[in-house]
Amino acid sequence: MKFVISSFLIACAISTSVAASDLRSSVVREAAIEAGLVPSSATRPKTDPDLVSVGKLAFEATELSAGQNIACATCHRDRFGSADGIPNAVGIGGDGAGDIRVASGGRTVPRNTLPFWGVGGIGYDTFFWDGKVSGRGDDLISQFGAHALSSDPLVVAAMIPPVEVDEMVGDIGHLTTETVGSATFIYNQLVEQLAADPDIADAALRAFGTSAKDLKFENYAEAIAEFIRFNFAVQDTRFHEFVFGKGKLTEDELNGGLIFYGKGRCSMCHNGPYFSDFNFHSIPSPSASFGKNGFGIDYGRFNVTNDPNDRGKFRTPPLFNVLRTAPYGHSGAYSEVSDIILAHSDPLAVLNFQELSSPQRQDVYQQLRHWLEEPVSQSALTLKELDQLISFLATLEFDSKREVRSP
């Protein structure tokens, strides 16, 4: 099977001798390369410094929201690894960060906030848990349909949160729906608000050579996308240094790598330059709130494709800095990385069916049906192996280029 070390090699590699340690290192290096890992530099596109500067200011600006009370940086915070540290995002009406924000009474956005590591890098072309924006192949897929204002999927993805009612809009007069018409109305308002900030106006003039008030919202979205590409671009991790340089791994990290590429079958889905195949899979995970589809239910990819076989499937999340971005899963249902790993390989060990409503249990049963077809359904781990796998995941860490100022 592709991306999985043979059991023969694992049997040969797991030993305490120096020769066996060298063999294990070689096996993990070769498996990583076969699974698509490349030097971090090969994932980084060139970026425009002036666009990055505008994008950073807009990313941090509350003027990016209709009520001027929430920014991208509100829910994408450095302290939570560019996510928000809570199960489901809290948008309009929320205050503070972390648990304080949950208790503040804001509107719940019924999915876990995804971090930005590697987003927009070369080959990173599918966005959001359900892939509702994708640039794969010849066609751009998004909820804008033929009205998308850019051919760049990350730019299109950056244009969505500012026009989602519960996330960054709220109730503005009659605008309580999400349509292309209402989006255009809001975009025009946001351009005026952003242009009124002198720092943004000056940066926009340098980047675009024109007055900020003469720009269109897609220009600001382009700048935000450029900032994300630059600031969260993949940098060398300890694992990159091990695979492509002279770096070393500890015994637990090395054994964890063997499990990742071998028994754990993790690399069947977590492969490529970003440790994601950007495809959609079913890992049993009940919604932690009312769910995207209501009643504690989230149909996942089905909401995009209307294909019954996609119900309960979600995009494989990349694994860079994964230990910094708890809680886990599309619904944030798992607070510990060990629990989300167990949900992959032994979901009944972590699912508490008594806490679920009848509709939620029915939804999980559907997820379990699809899970049986996933490669990880054959990969139950011991507690020691689980700890070693987590040690390996700790080698996938790096820092962003610039500090993000949260409002």
Helix (H) or strand (E) segment spanning residue 127: strand 126-127
Question: 85: burial class by Cβ within 10 Å (0-12, 13-18, 19+)?
Answer: buried
First CA to last CA across the chain, in angstroms?
48
Alpha carbon separation from 263 to 30, 49, 117, 204, 381 (Å, rounded): 16, 44, 27, 51, 8
What span, in angstroms and rounded, lies between the C-alpha atoms of 135 and 138? 7
Residues 398/234, Cβ–Cβ less than 8 Å: yes
Dihedral angle sign, alpha carbons of residues 155, 156, 162, 167: negative
Check: CB of residue 354 under 8 Å from CB of residue 346.
no
Long-range contact list for 134-143, CB < 8 A, 24+ apart?
136/278, 141/304
The Cα–Cα gap between 112 and 85 comes to: 9
Give whole-number Cα distances, 87 to 28, 67, 111, 356, in Å: 33, 24, 7, 16
List of residues 6+ apart from 29 with CB closer than 8 A: 242, 243
Residues whose CB falls within 8 Å of the CB of residue 129, separated by 6 or more in sequence, listed in order: 111, 112, 114, 300, 314, 315, 330
Place of tokens 């009312």: 290
Residues 44 and 122: beta-carbon distance below 8 Å: yes
DSSP string covering 253-291: HHHHHHHHHTTT-GGGTS-TTTT----EE------SSS-
How far is 84 from 73, CA to CA, in rounded Å? 9
Identity of the residue numbered 348? L
Write down the H helix ranges in 14-118. 18-34, 49-60, 72-75, 99-102
- Write out the two tokens for 68: 């001027």
Distance CA 29, CA 186 (A): 50
Local confidence pLDDT in tens for the 407 residues of the chain: 455 665 555 555 555 555 667 899 999 999 999 999 999 999 999 999 999 999 999 999 999 999 999 999 999 999 999 999 999 999 999 999 999 999 998 999 999 999 999 999 999 999 999 999 999 767 899 988 888 889 999 999 999 999 998 899 987 655 556 677 888 889 999 999 999 999 999 999 999 999 888 999 999 999 999 999 999 999 999 999 999 999 999 999 999 999 999 999 999 999 999 999 999 999 998 886 678 888 889 999 999 999 999 999 999 999 999 999 999 999 999 999 999 999 999 999 999 888 888 888 888 998 999 999 999 988 889 999 999 999 999 999 999 999 999 98
Tell me the C-alpha distance between 290 and 137, whole Å.
Answer: 34
| Position 347, amino acid | P
For 122, the token pair is: 């070369």
3-state secondary structure of 108: strand
Describe the chain by its helix, strand, coil percentages, rounded to 5. Answer: 45, 5, 50
What pLDDT was estimated at residue 1?
A: 45
Say what the pLDDT of residue 291 is: 86
Cα 211 from chain centroid? 34
**Domains delineated in the chain:** 49-231 (1.10.760.10)
